[in-house]
Amino acid sequence: MSKGLLHHIEIYVSDIKRTVDFWGWFLEELGYTPFQDWVSGRSWKIGDTYIVFVQTEDRFLDVPYHRCRVGLNHLAFHAISREHVNEMTNKLKDRGVNILYTNKHPFAGGDNYYAVYFEDPDRIKVELVAPE
């Protein structure tokens, strides 16, 4: 166990089925494996870190997520190469995923920052970035 490394992230979502469909394939493409599965949630693990998605209770669904409010802005994941970013971008497009900043893609983060930015079903921004 390494001091300070991220243990897990837990995210509440508006539609667990839609979220599992979206995140399952993406995380498994990055090497995560299914970890926990129950009626209102699912998680995937890589190494000692895992990501958990839980269905939000109906009484809390009145205010949708927005990344510019207080809280999570986005999740960023390492790609293995620029080619990996390109492959995943094509897979995201094939799945009808909303790619962000298309006018600057793949350099929306700067001239030497090669990444794809996209949204999950709740419009949480996700980034896949190649090593520099």
pLDDT digits over 74-123, tens only? 999 999 999 999 999 999 999 999 999 999 999 999 888 999 999 999 99
Q: Provide the Cα torsion 65, 55, 88, 126; round to 10°.
A: 30
CATH class of the domain defined by 8-59: alpha beta
Please give the Cα distance from 58 to 73 (Å, whole number). Answer: 23
How does 10-29 read in b/e, with b if 16+ C-beta sit within 10 Å? Answer: ebbbeebeebbebbeebbee
Angle at 26 between CA 131 and CA 68, to 5 degrees: 75
Summarised one tens digit per residue, pLDDT across range 13-48 is 999 999 999 999 999 999 999 999 999 999 999 999
In the chain, CATH 3.10.180.10 sits at: 8-59, 73-132
CATH assignment of 73-132? Answer: 3.10.180.10
